[in-house]
Structure 1
Amino acid sequence: MEASMKITDIELYSISVPLRTPFKTALRTVNAVEDIIVKINTDEGVCGYGEAPPTGVITGDTSGSIIAAIRNHIEKAIVGMDIEDFEEIMEKLHKSVIGNYSAKAAVDMALYDLFGQKWEIPLYKHLGGSKKEIITDITVSVNEPEEMAADALDAVNKGYKTLKIKVGKDSKKDLQRMQAIRDAVGYEVDLRIDANQGWQAKEAVKVLRQMEDKGLMIEFVEQPVAAHDFEGLKYVTDNVSIPVLADESVFSPMDAVKIMQLRAADYVNIKLMKCAGIHNALKITALGELYGVECMIGCMLEANVSVTAAVHLAMAKNIITKIDLDGPVLCSENPVVGGAIFDNYRINMSDGTGLAIKGIQNLQKIN
């Protein structure tokens, strides 16, 4: 009979990784990744890792709330349980506290890490294992048009074939931004734009039609309107030929169902921090398969722990056709030993079971 693997305790750490350059969107400016690292220990001496970025402006989760949710609710619900009872652990995790998706996501990926290690299989193979390598886009922060054009050209010179351009601060200037970038990089490069909820529905239709008329060849537009505005999202989707991707509108499988049934968007963006981890992300991929809606996998500003979990999911599911996992590339260093390997736009996985993470450097313990 297999030996059991029981959860003994959860350790929390903070990590700080400076960005190469400031990350600017319609919602915020960030200079460093400041995340919470979760380490779940077991009686077998095996540990699993997870990570949660405090992205209050998007998820509502702060460092304090992530720590409190794990210490006061999640830890009490799952410590002592056996990793073999995986479905029951997930049920207790999700029922332990309302919301707090980032905290749940960090614990969820550490549990999947342990599950893979228990059965001595890389997580992506356990989940479906369809791909050996994936290709990510890279984000160009919102700045003046000339600076954005230079940043875009720099990315193309590094080999990136797909750029994600942050817009949404000023629709008139957004048109100038996209024209400058397209002029700089030519038409062999795919441009996708992310408005981060920055436009009103009619404003979005107006500016997107202008981009169509100028022949800017936009692959898709991400979250043009406010997260809660499903009707506005559908209005944009119905009134422009540029495909629309729902991001902040999709926090849960229930949100995904609603958007897919309404045909409120052409694509859906999965982020582990929004949907509370891999367990729910798998439900969204299943819905995508059911409704014929392709998915993108994205990340917040995260280091290589949680992005590694997202890479495993992306490698496992064919319905995930678009990859936006550039968080670690935007960082000035990588504190993670093992996990996903980033060679600019190419992402591969190092050898190992579970998440294949061997260790994490420069951690500060949270008591």
Structure 2
Amino acid sequence: MPNEPERERGTPPESEREEQVSSVEERYRKIFEHNNDAVMIVDLEGEEFVDVNPKACQLLGYSRSELLAMHPEEIHPDDIDRIRDEFISQVTEEGTGFTDELTCLTKTGSVIPTEISGAALDLSDDETKPSQMVAMLRDISDRVEHRRELQEKIERLDQFASIVSHDLKNPLSVITGHATLARETGNREHFEAIEDAAERMDEMLSDLLMLTREGNLVGDRTTIELETLARKVWLECNLEPATLDIESSTSIRADRDRLHELFANLFENASTHGGQSVTVRVGAFDTEQNEGFYIEDDGDGIPVDEQENVFDWGHTTTRDGTGFGLAIVAEIVDAHGWSIGVCDSESGGVRFEICLT
């Protein structure tokens, strides 16, 4: 018998090597088919899908045959140019790539935020760039939603901080004013006003701290008489020589502290924009369409083209204004499930109508 060619020491026979290769391929095939992420083999030159796993079909809503007849730009219509310039070029030049800013359009037309990682497949001896890559898509909808919720909480906290800084100005000004009068006159009632304002500040801070923790702007509701609360807030605001005229009253189910802030902000807005001698009128209305209450004044009013923007955060028409007062009012109204509108009053000033239904 002719001598068989000698194998190098430690080298398995051909049949054994074939079995090892087949075993490795089978393992990779199982990883491909049972992966929790969508896995797609992409031909880089033709931008075509060579193979896709079941998870890719599930994620995008297409059958395997449908996906293999499509191109990546049909899945990523909004991002394809950026993906070519940033992701695919990174895979081509560096062998791997990643981005977490990719949206996928499903068969039903819904958009799914995803992250994608990719790797170039083996190069042949005569190639300088890969002809194919493996791309792994992961649905990050939960992460994006969590990020959105965090952003909303941050914005909410910023608004609460604005509310605190804005609404503490009124009791602080009361304290400052009565402290000056107390020094001049020694009248006991000024000290009582200071104590009341300090207690009011303490209540506001406690309430707002609780609200920031709970994420709700409105707490427990009680029945409140419109006239009683309006007169109390007016006295605390100390807006003389401005005058308050209660034209009618009604009972309201509301969070007392938040409604207190609403009246304080609207009264101060009237004084700021209507002048020191402004007259503010408060009353109730009940029509076939709505019922609620109003606060109006006889000041200069708000131009029609600005009325839609007065409740925006930061919107102000005065040099030293914060733009928070009316925005806070709108937040309080919305948190109660009410609505608020603004228009001209009969005396030429501004009228705010809060609809309870």
User: TM-score of the superposition, structure 2-length normalised?
Assistant: 0.20
Identify, as 1 or 2, the structure richer in helix. Answer: 2
Larger radius of gyration: 2
